[in-house]
Amino acid sequence: MSNLVEGATGPWEVVVGLEIHAQVTAQSKLFSGAATEFGAEPNSQVSLVDAGMPGMLPVINERAVEQAVRSGLGLNAKINTYSVFDRKNYFYADLPQGYQISQYLQPIVGEGIVSVDLEDGGSTDIGIERLHLEQDAGKLIHDQHPRKSHVDLNRSGLALMEIVSKPDIRSAAEAGAYVRKVRAILRYLGTCDGNMEQGSMRADVNVSVRRPGEDLGTRAEVKNVNSIRFMQQAIHFETTRQIDILEAGGSIVQETRKFDAQTGTTRPMRDKEEANDYRYFPDPDLLPLEFSDDFVEKIRLTLPELPDAKKRRYMDDLGLSDHDAAVLVSDRDIALFYEAVADGRDAKIAANWVQGELFAQLARAEREVADSPITAAQLGGLIDLIGDNTISGKIAKDVLEIMFETGRDAAVIVADKGLKQVTDTGAIEAEVDTVIAANPDKVAEFQGGKDKILGWFVGQIMQATKGKANPQLVNQLLRDKLKP
Ligand code: MN
| pLDDT tens for each residue of 300-356 | 999 999 999 999 999 999 999 999 999 999 999 999 999 999 999 999 999 999 999
* Distance from C-alpha of 333 to C-alpha of 354, rounded to nearest angstrom: 12
Residue 273 has pLDDT above 70, yes or no: no
Q: Please give the residue range of the domain that contains residue 111.
A: 5-299
| pLDDT score, position 367 | 95
Look at residue 259 in the predicted model and tell me its pLDDT. Answer: 96
Same domain, 144 and 9: yes
Q: Where are the alpha helices (DSSP H) in 32-131?
A: 62-74
363 pLDDT above the threshold of 70: yes
Q: What is the mean pLDDT of residues 13-31?
A: 97
Mean confidence (pLDDT) of the chain: 94
Ligand 1 centroid – CA 303 distance (Å): 26
Average pLDDT of the segment spanning 391-413: 94
Averaged pLDDT, 373-391: 95
Of 377, 394, 416, which residue sits at a domain end?
Answer: 416
pLDDT the model gives residue 470:
84
Distance (angstroms) between ligand 1 centre and the Cα of 131 equals: 10
Nearest Cα to 109, choosing from 70, 64, 58? Answer: 70
Q: Ligand 1 center to residue 353 CA distance, Å?
A: 42
Return the ∠ at Cα 151 (arms to 149 and 152), rounded to 5°.
Answer: 140
Distance from residue 258's CA to the centre of ligand 1 (Å): 16
Distance 242 CA to ligand 1 centre (A): 25
Q: Do 372 and 388 have their domain in common?
A: yes
> 478 CA distance to ligand 1 centroid (A)?
70
CA 388 centroid distance within chain: 36
Q: Which residue has the higher pLDDT, 334 or 388?
A: 334
Q: What is residue 417's three-state secondary structure?
A: helix
Q: What percent of the residues of the chain are helix, what percent strand, and what percent coil, each to the nearest 5?
A: 40, 20, 40
pLDDT value at 210 more than 90: yes
CA of 129 to the centre of ligand 1 (A): 14
The residue among 343, 467, 349, 339 whose CA lies nearest residue 398 is: 467
Indicate the SS3 state at residue 269: strand
**What do you get for the CA distance between the two ends of the chain, in Å?**
56
Question: What distance in angstroms lies between residue 30's CA and the mean position of ligand 1's atoms?
Answer: 14
The amino acid present at 307, given as its one-letter code, is P
User: Residues 410, 447: one domain?
Assistant: no
Are residue 454 and residue 472 in the same domain, yes or no?
yes
C-alpha to C-alpha distance for 45 and 152, rounded to whole angstroms: 9
Distance (angstroms) between ligand 1 centre and the Cα of 278 equals 12
Residues 236 and 315 in one domain: no
pLDDT of 372: 96
Q: What is the mean pLDDT of residues 14-23?
A: 98
Segment among 77-81, 115-119, 382-386 with least mean pLDDT: 115-119
The answer to whether residues 323 and 248 belong to one domain is: no
Contact between 119 and 173 (Cβ < 8 Å): yes
Burial pattern 90-110, b for ≥16 Cβ within 10 A else e, equals eeeebbbbebbbbbbebbbbb
Centre of ligand 1 from the C-alpha of residue 35, in Å: 21
Residues in the chain: 484
CA 200 to chain centre: 13
Short-list 165, 186, 265, 190, CA closest to 225: 265
Beta strands in 231-354 (DSSP E): 255-260, 265-271, 281-282, 289-290
Residues 283 and 287: their CA atoms lie apart, in Å, by: 8
Please identify, among 396, 416, 436, the residue that sits at the C-terminal boundary of a domain: 416
Q: Which of 416, 440, 455 is the last residue of a domain?
A: 416
Ligand 1 centroid, distance to 133 Cα (angstroms): 9
Q: Say if residue 176 is in the same domain as residue 98.
A: yes
pLDDT of residue 275: 67
Three-class SS state of 267: strand
Whole-number Å distance, alpha carbon 198 to ligand 1 midpoint, is 17
Interval 389-412 mean pLDDT: 93
pTM, full prediction: 0.87
Distance 247 CA to ligand 1 centre (A): 33
Provide the pLDDT for residue 427: 83
Q: In the predicted model, what is the mean pLDDT of residues 421-426? A: 79
Of the listed ranges 65-69, 87-91, 383-387, 468-472, the least confidently predicted one is 468-472
Residues 176 and 202 in one domain: yes
Q: Mean pLDDT throughout 175-190?
A: 97
Q: Are residues 455 and 351 part of one domain?
A: no
DSSP label at residue 136 = -
Distance 179 CA to ligand 1 centre (A): 16
- Range 277-301 average pLDDT: 96
More confident residue, 426 or 304: 304
> In angstroms, rounded to a whole number, what is the distance separating the alpha carbons of residues 227 and 19?
13
pLDDT of 1 over the 60 cut: no
Could you tell me if 395 and 473 lie in one domain? no
Query: How many domains are contained in the chain?
Result: 3
Tell me phi and psi for residue 134, to 5 degrees.
-155, 165
**Residues 160 and 73 both lie in one domain:** yes
| Cβ partners under 8 Å of residue 363, min gap 6 | none
Q: Are residues 117 and 195 in the same domain?
A: yes
At 361, phi and psi to the nearest 5? -65, -45
CA 34 to each of CA 30, 61, 162, 446: distance values in angstroms, whole numbers, following the listed order? 9, 11, 21, 78
Phi and psi, residue 358, nearest 5°: -65, -45
